[in-house]
Structure 1
Amino acid sequence: MIPFNKPFLIGKELQYIEESVHSGKISGNGMFTKKCQSYFETNLGVEKTLLTTSCTDALEMCSMLIDTAPGDEVIVPSYTFVSTALAFVRQGAKIVFADSRTDHPGIDEDKIESLITPKTKAIVVVHYAGVACDMDKIMELADKYNLYVIEDAAQAIDSYYKGKPLGTIGHLGAFSFHETKNIICGEGGLLTINDKKFADRAEILWEKGTNRSAFFKGEVNKYGWVDTGSSFLPSELIAAFLYAQLENLEMIQKKRKEIWSVYKRELNELEEKNILKLASIPDFATNNAHMFYVITKDQEERSKLIAFLKEKNVHAVFHYLCLHKSEYYSKIETPLELENAQKYDQCLLRLPFFYELKEDEIKHITDSVKMFYAQ
């Protein structure tokens, strides 16, 4: 069976984990945490980043930093992972779900303004498959209505909007290093702080509501409990693994883009014949080769294709069920119909994609897809 995903070692992951153990400190905010944060601050061009145990944690920090409270409304795309909404629900916000674009699973930027009310606090955008939303339109709306913009850039490492790194355009951003992402450390995330006013408080939330970071920088002579927060920082073992991957980001990305290109080349004929739809990338966005997906005509066709691929020893998966149709949300609100989001929910299929995927394996996968439609 060709798996959907496979974690991988590419460099000094095990060496750095051993170094962190021998250093005498494997709790958070040690040498490798600082190396990772310095890497991102330099390469993303932001003043402050904080490593977290997950992208979910980074999003929860975003929600806390903008003081989300009961009575606030937060606009979120329906076609996304639950963490995008959950981070704001936990703070008491009402989620207002937005539809996807017709040509891409990302949020439909042209439908956002109609969802804004006097209670709206923030717009959360998801750069699905690492492909940028139209951030100019979104930031213009934020300026017009005095709203915060949070970038869920979980899938968007090394991807850009008009030359600017994703995760650095909104007020705050969040990345994921889950084992299914381009660079991995099992579980892990990153908060990008793009508005200076959040920087000091972010460190306090990150350090369990204490001003411990200020103490170690010599800014205060003792530290204590000064705000809300949690234990958002990861251990040094996670940071050590991640740093080894960061050292090889260019190599990883080169290989992933090659894999994506082979998929595209082999399946392009099915799109040309209007049998399948493949990923669409707007002119303002780049492709970071996070995933390769196809869009079938309907849910029944997708189910049959999944079963056929399984017979051919290929593990293909679908994911996100629209959050506005979820069991949890349906108890709170009467769901609206969001046509495009529901289309992706029912028709989008992800093909195996991981660093060690070989070209002959990709050929087997694509030949199997073509065989299904030939029959």
Structure 2
Amino acid sequence: MSKIPYSLSYFGEKEIAAVNDLLANPSHLTSETYTKLCRDFLKNYYQREMLVTHSCTAALEMSALLLNIQPGDEVILPSFTFVSTANAFALFGARLVFVDIQKDTLNMDPLALEAAITPKTKAIVVMHYAAVACDMAAICAIADAKGIPIVEDAAQCIGAQFNGKYLGTFGKLGTLSFHHTKNITAGLGGALIINDEALIDRAKVICQKGTNRDAFIEGLVDKYTWQDLGSSYVMNEFGAAVLLGQLERMDVINKNRQTIWQQFHEGLVDIEKWGYSRPSVPKGSLHNAHIYYLIAPTEQEGTQLRQFLASQGITAPHHYIPLHLSPAGKKFGKPVESLPVCESIYKRIVRLPLWEGFTGIEAVIGAIYKAQSTSASLVV
């Protein structure tokens, strides 16, 4: 194992106590006690209707169902994103339309979005990279003018905001992730943010295998029956037990990560002398310090830096391979000649270790500067 891994999760006494309580009181499994507590916490925090799911992927699939995505519908999304963003819509027959990203934020380029819209466009799916907001003013204006719903893949964005509004609450639907690599974790988990009240009742049915079991649990009906298409999208109760304690510490966790992020940002200011770029955070964007990354000036230098850091016991991975370059992207996506920004960025990005309580900041920064002075000896 690396001396310094890319990420680590921390679980405190509350999470352990909740799991022990669940083991001692199996009735919570039937009543979904902890799932409801997590849901209530998130509803209060975001001031939106919420459904807690087994993954962000599940929440994205629910979004596709709620928008009635049909075979042949076009869905526009950035190519620089995780596969779940695409899978969720391709599963229902959508034709994926991949667009390029902006150089500064690595988020969807509004100009590329506008150029990609056709009469077949059924949805726009944005992904806020590193919990830094897309240009939602421009994207929402484009979507509103065309009457196209927005889904926000806010997997990385728990607690992050743009102009005082939480990411995930700009579109018709938003999604969150509680994967073990995220700021707040249940090991695996997610949530669907429902910003359109007209979708709430159907979303509850879809989440519970297409039944009205949610109404049954709330005591609104004496039995539940099959109502609509759906799947088993609910979070397991053990995951919810862990998640509750994490949610209660959310603001503290994010603040601690932001302190570490800022130390990286200030400590690496001189790296720009070698042609590297540091993250850009537009005015009005309050991120949660999910990722700190560098963009190397060339692919070779990015590879050399990752290799040098690995030789020092530091895990510093690249990130997404653009989906339009993948076999599945070519199969399910609309043909695209080139998306030059993401095709360049993915070869040059270097993500740095970051988690709550991380104490190896100086070691990582020192190794990065050392790499610049020894680059001639690195093996590519």
TM range (shorter): over 0.9
2:19 to 17, 20, 32: 17
Whole-angstrom distance in 2 between the partners of 1:275 and 1:111: 27
Contact 2:75–2:124 under 8 Å retained in 1: yes
Residue pair 1:28, 1:236 contacting (<8 A) in 2 also: no
SS for the counterpart of 1:277 is: coil
Distance 2:219 2:115 in 1: 48
Distance in 1 of aligned mates of 2:222 and 2:356: 48
Contact 2:157/2:287 (8 A) holds in 1: no
Aligned counterpart, 1:282: 282
Q: Is the 8 A contact 1:70 1:94 kept in 2?
A: yes
Alignment of 1:285-364 (within 5 A): 285-332=285-332, 333-358=334-359, 361-364=360-363
Structure 2 matches for 1:134-283, cutoff 5 A? 134-271=135-272, 273-283=273-283
Q: Distance in 2 between matches of 1:29 and 1:354?
A: 33
C-alpha displacement of 1:10: 3.2
The offset of 1:26, in angstroms, is 5.1
Deviation of 1:356 after TM superposition, in Å, equals 2.8
CA distance in 1, matches of 2:30, 2:292: 34
Count of matched residue pairs:
371
What's the CA shift string for 1:103-152, capped at 9, x where partnerless? 12110112211111110001000010000112122222222111110000
CA offset digits 1:1-58 (Å, max 9, x no partner) = 1111112113411101111222223547611111111111111111x10000100000
3-state SS, counterpart of residue 187 of structure 1:
coil
Q: How many angstroms apart in 1 are the aligned matches of 2:286 and 2:105?
A: 14
CA distance in 2, matches of 1:362, 1:216: 47
Q: Partners in 2 of 1:299 and 1:251 — Cα distance?
A: 36
SS at match of 1:123: strand
Deviation at 1:353, TM superposition (A): 1.0
Whether contact under 8 Å (2:105, 2:134) holds in the other structure is no
Letter matched to residue 284 of structure 2? F
Structure 1 residue aligned with 2:44: 42
The one-letter amino acid of 2:365's match is: T
Q: What letter matches 2:373 in structure 1?
A: A
Please report the TM-score for the alignment, with normalisation by the length of structure 1.
0.96
| CA 29–172 in structure 1, closer or farther in 2 if over 3 Å, else same | farther
Structure 1's unaligned 5+ residue stretches are none
Identity %: 40
Relative to the length of structure 2, the TM-score reads 0.95
Q: Which moved more, 1:74-83 or 1:7-16?
A: 7-16
Shift of 1:266: 1.1
Q: Taking structure 1 as reference, are residues 325 and 28 closer, same or farther at Cα in structure 2, changes over 3 Å only?
A: farther
In the alignment, the residues of structure 1 paired with residue 335 and residue 143 of structure 2 have an alpha-carbon distance, to the nearest angstrom, of 27
Match of 2:373 in 1: 374
Q: CA RMSD in A?
A: 1.4
Q: Contact 2:206–2:228 at 8 Å: present in 1 too? A: yes
SS across alignment from 1:12: helix
Contact 2:324 2:336 in 1 (8 A): yes
Residue deviations 1:160-187 (CA, integer Å, cap 9, x gap): 0110011111100000011111111110
CA displacement 1:253-278 (0-9 Å, x = unmatched): 1210111011111111112x253100
Match of 1:223, SS state, is coil
